[in-house]
Structure 1
């Protein structure tokens, strides 16, 4: 999914680079002729085709999100505002989004070409409208694709989704009864709408018999409140001797 999204965006950029090169050449030399009638017909067909493609891709993305929400309907919902916030992010397919942006870019270009063709058809001396249309299209393409590139970058680099706050997760984990400290917490994106987490907790002294209860609460917090796709919770009893030994090791190394 991530690779197909990147490939789709790269194809748009390759097309944009070629069109920009042609537009610059035409702007500099101005030694080109444009058949307004052919340009007008081609642009009109392009607008119609891209409208149909955009509609189909939009429906596909809607069905994908709808089925995804049904697949997770068995998970109990929390009243926490964090859950309401996190559940609205990233559930649409990156590949569908990239394809939709591709079609949207083509549609914008076709509309621009249609306007330019109309101008050139009746005012041939204003043929500069053709390269100007390409410049505007290129700016719009960059603005509409930068979000997809950022999202794919987070997934490839296994970064934390921007709608999740790691410090907030730590604070909520520390509020669980019998949790003494958080040794480690890793949160990363698996793909669009799917986030994984691994957390290592230390329990307060004398509460080792409650590890199942603590583990269940931590899992419910990560899955239900923060919308994790999967998580792993590791527990260990707090040992004062271990803490002293580690402190001595750090003092010796210093």
Structure 2
């Protein structure tokens, strides 16, 4: 079983050396391939194999006990019940991760408020709003946001700084960032613009 899982893990993805992303939106870092330990399928298969092994030990223990003392016939269903509960508990985290991806929720390893604060801290950024963060898979996180900058700032430099910060600090490699000029009147009258961070 280990050999099959290892071979399948090694053949999961073969990068073809370039990105199809547009320069003004996200920049995908193809050098950072997800580790197989983070793959939900590998995690589920590993837990399944370990669970089967633990249950086999429980059945063996119950069989030896019943063979030695036949009056302890309840040992078999008790061991099965206990080890089934243990396996169920270990699958809860996998189920949570799968539901999070299917519902496109904010991943548990990304702090929404910290992302807002970090975006606003970029030099030249006055406001960050309409921020959406969701899981594309257990390894890939996507983000879209509007950032308002001062008139005298270079939008391409700020876009690049924002993408670098998101990759480095939050491991977000798929981002769509709309850079707009800061207008105090519009920002004060727009509900979406006031929801998040402002300098």
**TM norm. shorter chain > 0.5:** yes
- Residue of structure 2 equivalent to 1:232: 176
Which residue of 201, 207, 223 corresponds with 2:152? Answer: 207
Q: Structure 1, unaligned stretches of length 5 or more?
A: 1-52, 76-86, 248-254
What is the alpha-carbon distance in structure 2 between the residues aligned to residue 217 and residue 225 of structure 1? 12
Residues 1:140 and 2:86 are matched in the alignment: yes
1:120 Cα offset (Å): 1.4
Higher helix share: 1
Aligned length: 179
Residues 1:149 and 2:81 are matched in the alignment: no
Instruction: Tell me if structure 2 keeps the 8 A contact 1:186–1:198.
Output: yes
Cα 1:109/1:245, change in 2 over 3 Å: closer
Cα 1:57/1:226, change in 2 over 3 Å: farther
Choose 1 or 2 for highest CA Rg.
Answer: 1
Q: Structure 2, unaligned stretches of length 5 or more?
A: 16-27, 192-199
Instruction: Tell me if structure 1 keeps the 8 A contact 2:148–2:181.
Output: yes
TM-score with structure 1 length normalisation? 0.62
Cα 1:139/1:188, change in 2 over 3 Å: same
Three-state SS of the structure 2 residue aligned to 1:191 is: coil
- Residue of structure 2 equivalent to 1:242: 186
Three-state SS of the structure 2 residue aligned to 1:126 is: coil
1:228 Cα offset (Å): 1.2
Three-state SS of the structure 1 residue aligned to 2:136 is: strand
TM-score with structure 2 length normalisation? 0.78
CA offsets per residue over residues 118-170 of structure 1, 9 Å max, x none?
11122212111111111111210121101101111111111111111011111
Matches within 5 A, 1:1-254: 53=1, 55-56=2-3, 59=6, 74=31, 92-204=38-150, 206-208=151-153, 210-243=154-187, 246=190
1:104 Cα offset (Å): 1.5
